[in-house]
Copies of this chain bind each other. A is one copy, B any other.
Amino acid sequence: MDELEEFRRYRERMNERILSAGNLGIKRFFALDSRAYEKGALDVKTKELLGLVASTVLRCSDCITYHVIRCAQEGVSDEEFFEALNVALVVGGSITIPHIRRAVDTLDQCRKNNMKTNPSSSSL
């Protein structure tokens, strides 16, 4: 089982555990989170790029992995991907570089897997 699959399974299992705990606030937050990336005035691809850059400047590994996978699924090209990461790098500085290395590593894995499946129906 590869790293991305392991990541997907852990997130899915723990999301189910959390959502079954009966806290309504958390449940609604997860719903809001999913909806924030749905098509509206901005298309899904743009929103995923927004999520990728926000996750990168905040240096959240799992969030970056999630949005890299989603960007790959939405057809983001390599040029677009690196331009978005460049914005994150300039805004967030060299402390984002370790996360940029992993983001590129994840993208390469996605391209290799020709990843098509949604990483999860719900949240980050």
Interface residues of A (CB under 8 A from B): 10-11, 14-15, 17-18, 21-26, 28-30, 32-33, 35-37, 40-42, 46-47, 49-51, 53-55, 57-63, 77-80, 82-98, 100-102, 104-105, 108, 123-124
Contacts and interface: CB of A to CB of B under 8 A. Distances in A.
Contacts of A28: 28, 32
Contact of A53 (B11, B50, B93): B50
B63 A95 contact: yes
B60 A57 contact: no
A94 B78 contact: no
B41 A83 contact: yes
A54 B91 contact: yes
